[in-house]
Amino acid sequence: SQTIHQWPATLVQPVGSPLSLECTVEGTSNPNLYWYRQAAGRGLQLLFYSVGIGQISSEVPQNLSASRPQDRQFILSSKKLLLSDSGFYLCAWNLRGYDEQFFGPGTRLTVL
Amino acid sequence: GNSVTQMEGPVTLSEEAFLTINCTYTATGYPSLFWYVQYPGEGLQLLLKATKADDKGSNKGFEATYRKETTSFHLEKGSVQVSDSAVYFCALSDQGAGSYQLTFGKGTKLSVIP
């Protein structure tokens, strides 16, 4: 069966520090991968998606970036965090041709 | 563009009460519709889905019917339990560039009290 992992589970970082969040999927090949952010009191905002290694599409211009160095690995990064980057970050996957997405457990990021 | 509008919460119900969470959508094509549930501190879990008009999705006592004429996908449950307390998200899918992207509503927080 397929599983999706995210780490760390929680993170507290100072403003201006770098960020690296990791997401990995097991039990499947060639998944589409997604990064969402959920801010307090707001819905889910799609940040990036990827249909293959090295292929990244950005939905929202910001100081975040994403990379996909391996088929089942998706990384969310920032060189300098802002206060507004605080939130709950969710990784998700699905297979090409299928519309439902499966979500990881999330990373709670607090920028102070 | 696509959009999803959900009733604003929070919604507080007593155990065994009837639940309705309204969801309407705007889409250019023929999207699939979903309800996801998020328990405190966790990721989202797919609750149910419907892929075409008049389809009814159901799971764990929850139901929703894809109504194309009213562009709606309201979530219902006949008798809620304390364990149903969570945030519920309505979403639609839109295929583009080889991936299916989900557009979410803002979520409705449900609290069920004994």
| B94-104 residue pLDDT tens | 765 555 788 89
How remote is the C-alpha of A30 from its chain's centroid?
Answer: 17
Q: In Å, what is the CA distance from B21 to each residue of A62, B34, B73, B107? A: 33, 13, 9, 10
Nearest CA in chain B to A47: B101
Read off the pLDDT band of B2 (50, 70, 90).
confident
CA distances (Å), A106 to each of A8, A40, A88, in order? Answer: 9, 14, 6
Over its length of 112 residues, how does chain A's per-residue pLDDT go in tens digits?
889 999 999 999 999 999 999 999 999 999 999 999 998 767 888 999 999 999 999 888 679 999 999 999 999 999 999 999 999 999 999 988 888 899 999 999 999 9
Q: A85 φ, ψ to 5°?
A: -80, -10
Q: To probe the interface with B, which of A100, A102, A108, A109 has the most B CB atoms within 10 Å?
A: A100
* Among candidate residues B93, B99, B96, B91, the one with its CA nearest the CA of residue A50: B99
Q: What is the DSSP string of B38-73?
A: E-TTS-EEEEEEE-STT-EEEETTEEEE-BTTTTB-
Cβ <8 Å between B49 and A100: yes
What separation in angstroms does the CA of B97 have from each of A49, A55, A97, B2? 10, 11, 11, 16
Tokens for A48? 């990036």
B42: contact with A, CB 8 A cutoff? yes
Residues of A in contact with B89 (CB under 8 A): 43-44
Nearest to B97 among A57, A103, A108 (CB): A57
Q: Which of residues 67-96 of A touch B (CB under 8 A)?
A: 90, 92, 94, 96
Chain A positions in Cβ-Cβ contact with residue B45 (cut-off 8 Å): 103
